[in-house]
Structure 1
Amino acid sequence: MIALIIGILTSLIITLVGTPLLIRIVHKLNYGQYIRQDGPKSHQVKRGTPTLGGVVIVLAVVLGWCASALYRFCTTGARPTWAAILALFSMVSMGVLGFIDDFAKVRKKQNEGLTVGGKFFGQVVFATIFAVLALIVPTRSGFPVAQAGMSFIEKPFLSFEFAGRIVAIILFVIWVNFLMAAWTNAVNLTDGLDGLCAGSSMIAFVGYAIIAMWQMYHLKGQAHSGFTYAVSDPLDLGIIACCAAVACLGFLWYNCNPASIFMGDTGSLALGGLFAALSIITHTEFLAMIIGGLFVVETLSDVIQVGYFKATHKRVFKMAPIHHHFELCGWSESKVVVRFWIIELMFVITGLIIFYGNWVGLSGLWHH
């Protein structure tokens, strides 16, 4: 518990202290955000607002976990786990892609950074590295970091192992690439209003912190009653999720309307990569669609808008993603953001109820 508190405090302090420092640096370098011309006209006043805020979020999560890991090593001799390293690798690698994209935008002084092909290539490389290592690296827990299959909660409802080891790894790499691309883009689409992405991500990571901690207290092979989980090092995952939540909370102090800084693709891609990694390592890839329900809704609204427009040359929403639709309906930006936070909270609560209900049901079968 002390290790968790150390990680939380470290991440929060780094975010609260580091963000204003970054704002000053970005101001001096004149690295301001360039606003899309086809967006709501009210957003044009945000042009020039400092961006690259995701750098602080990523540093806060990494250093928060490092402080926690250092305390555990000094007190118990526990060394860093592969589950933690790969979750952080997913976050940092996607954050690097986002940073390159953000940096290209501010250097070119336009709202276009990396090409779609360049970003896709980077995501494929990093996601493939994550997927392969997650299956093959040895762990002290005895459980692999990830399992080659698709899971709602814990055990795969579709295992890739039926096709043989090599084919299973290939199928898993494809699956992980899809998840990484889906979640990074979903979180990125949500980052369109002041505080929307930071607040929603904070709520989602609290959900995953609870799931990981529950798995830690009901880990297979330990003296706990009821159903147990064959998950690799959930304590580290819980600490990382908590660090991510408080990093978003600290960043929100400066990112709430009117924002003093934007997280940029650096932050949104990093948070999306971490969310995807947590879903994979905790064996909850499909439950994640409920835990991160707001991100799913935002993405579906964009897909529906584009698909329907191509088919009929008409629009379903006044503007996509859907948060812009409600802005154009007359809602203030702050009202949209707070109500969307509430919606995401309801998604997380629903996901946690399903997660707990699954445990109760399986515990009953386990006792019988």
Structure 2
Amino acid sequence: MLYNLLAPFADEFQAFNLFRYLTFRTGGATMTALFLAFVLGPAVIRWLKSRQADGQPIREDGPESHLLTKKGTPTMGGLLILIALVVSTLLWANLSNPYVWATLMVTLGFGAIGFSDDWLKLTKKNTKGLPGKLKLAFQIAIATAAALAITSTFDEPLTFSLAVPFFKDLLLNLSWFFIPFAVFVMIGASNAVNLTDGLDGLAIVPVMIAGGVFALISYLVGNAVFANYLQIHHVAGTGELAVVCGALIGAGLGFLWFNAPPAMVFMGDTGSLSLGGALGTISVITKHELVLAIVGGLFVLETVSVIVQVASFKLTGKRVFRMAPLHHHFEKKGWQEPTIVIRFWIIAIILALVGLSTLKLR
């Protein structure tokens, strides 16, 4: 909004020229989202507590310690993240950019699905929530609409092509199969973050790390000079997504203030589904879907642990892990929660560095 209102007057008022710079607006979005989260956080948590007498329902088959340490903690804290992220993005981003709106559509759409899921869990006082098939159907509908909108803005040969990291000119033309692939990326990222969200601070920090990586990728992919130098595929207009990523980081930092152990609030599906969907959408727009699998490797690992556990139990009747997702396996082994969280953060940082290396190793 500020860009659209003030940048046109930059020639008359030199100070307004700042709003033409993506770096300035990205920083502004980060600080605004952080400020909003800090200011609104206590009020949002009080409101959630007033509506949730018993807090988030705790799995009875989960780690025994959760019944003592997490019972009564309110969920749906993702509302705080969404408010800070969306308001900050609308304030600092170029609102004529279609990629900004596509990302917000998925973020808010998946957030609404997560909100419905959280609400049903609270009202029914169990951990089932929205039926899985219905949740998936809504996700597919939203992601498909976003994928069609995004591809309609691409220029050939990028429209239905998949860029492969480490190779400067390699594009795999998926034809119309790119649409279901893009849908899979968005939904897969969303649900992967959702599976990772099980311990205080475990999901939000890797999300912010991935957001920081894709802020840089968005900026570089959207800049023709840098894209040519790094020999990555230039997609005009994607630089504006750095502002969205900045808002995500600021909102995430503000939320972490209240989610740090012992958590005052959980993000719930409202936050995890929306944040994962945002990362998946940005990766599709920037043509770095495979890099997201590297940068978000922690989310992939958590998801794979669930798939392996379910498949092994159905085929052999035996479990590979003591409990899935993977972070619960280590809890069952006796690791303390802060140890698991911090070590998983370290893994996320390492994977982010590996993902960043793909920008230069061509």
Bin of the TM-score, shorter chain as denominator length:
0.7 to 0.9
1:366 maps to none
For 2:229 and 2:140, the matched residues in 1 are separated by 41
Once the two structures are TM-superposed, the CA of residue 234 in structure 1 deviates from its matched residue by 2.2
2:191 aligned with 1:210: no
Corresponding residue SS for 2:203? helix
Counterpart of 1:98, as a letter, is G
2:173 aligned with 1:159: yes
For 2:229 and 2:331, the matched residues in 1 are separated by 50
2:20 maps to none
Q: Which runs of structure 2 are paired with 1:278-317 in the superposition (5 Å)?
A: 278-317=282-321
Once the two structures are TM-superposed, the CA of residue 156 in structure 1 deviates from its matched residue by 6.1
Superposed CA deviations along residues 297-350 of structure 1, whole A, max 9, x for unmatched, are 001111111111111111111111110111111110011000000000000001
For 1:271 and 1:209, the matched residues in 2 are separated by 14
Superposed CA deviations along residues 31-62 of structure 1, whole A, max 9, x for unmatched, are 62001111101011212211111111112111
Corresponding residue SS for 1:150? strand
Q: Which moved more, 1:92-101 or 1:31-40?
A: 31-40
Once the two structures are TM-superposed, the CA of residue 179 in structure 1 deviates from its matched residue by 1.5
1:234 maps to 238
- Aligned CA distance change for structure 1 residues 20 and 147 (closer, same or farther; 3 Å): farther
For 1:64 and 1:92, the matched residues in 2 are separated by 14
For 1:135 and 1:215, the matched residues in 2 are separated by 16
Q: TM-score, normalised by structure 1?
A: 0.86
Corresponding residue SS for 1:48? coil
Superposed CA deviations along residues 124-169 of structure 1, whole A, max 9, x for unmatched, are 11011101111225xxxx748x7313223486632133xxxxxx2x
Counterpart of 1:57, as a letter, is I
2:270 maps to 266
2:135 aligned with 1:112: no
Once the two structures are TM-superposed, the CA of residue 274 in structure 1 deviates from its matched residue by 0.4
For 2:357 and 2:74, the matched residues in 1 are separated by 39
2:76 aligned with 1:52: yes
Superposed CA deviations along residues 169-214 of structure 1, whole A, max 9, x for unmatched, are xx23311222122111110000010110111111111111121122
1:34 maps to 57
CA contact (8 A) 1:52 1:267 kept: yes
Corresponding residue SS for 1:158? strand
What is the root-mean-square deviation of aligned Cα atoms in Å?
2.0
2:87 aligned with 1:83: no
CA contact (8 A) 1:98 1:264 kept: yes
1:100 maps to 116
CA contact (8 A) 2:28 2:92 kept: yes
1:147 maps to 159
For 2:202 and 2:95, the matched residues in 1 are separated by 36
CA contact (8 A) 2:187 2:280 kept: no
For 1:352 and 1:143, the matched residues in 2 are separated by 25
Q: Which moved more, 1:333-342 or 1:83-92?
A: 83-92
CA contact (8 A) 2:230 2:359 kept: no
Q: Which runs of structure 2 are paired with 1:8-23 in the superposition (5 Å)?
A: 8-23=30-45
Superposed CA deviations along residues 88-132 of structure 1, whole A, max 9, x for unmatched, are 111111111001111111112221210011101101110111011
Superposed CA deviations along residues 269-319 of structure 1, whole A, max 9, x for unmatched, are 001100110110010111111010100000111111111111111111111
Q: Which of 167, 170, 192 is the matching residue for 1:186?
A: 192
2:361 aligned with 1:338: no
Q: TM-score, normalised by structure 2?
A: 0.88
Counterpart of 2:189, as a letter, is W
Once the two structures are TM-superposed, the CA of residue 66 in structure 1 deviates from its matched residue by 1.4
Contiguous gaps of at least 5 residues in structure 1 = 70-77, 162-167, 359-368
Once the two structures are TM-superposed, the CA of residue 215 in structure 1 deviates from its matched residue by 2.2
Number of equivalenced pairs? 336
For 2:164 and 2:323, the matched residues in 1 are separated by 32
Corresponding residue SS for 2:162? strand
2:16 maps to none
Q: Percent identity?
A: 38
Corresponding residue SS for 1:175? helix
For 2:200 and 2:88, the matched residues in 1 are separated by 25
- Aligned CA distance change for structure 1 residues 246 and 152 (closer, same or farther; 3 Å): farther
Corresponding residue SS for 1:201? helix
CA contact (8 A) 1:219 1:228 kept: no
Once the two structures are TM-superposed, the CA of residue 16 in structure 1 deviates from its matched residue by 1.4
Contiguous gaps of at least 5 residues in structure 2 = 1-22
2:349 aligned with 1:355: no
Once the two structures are TM-superposed, the CA of residue 79 in structure 1 deviates from its matched residue by 4.6
2:151 maps to 135
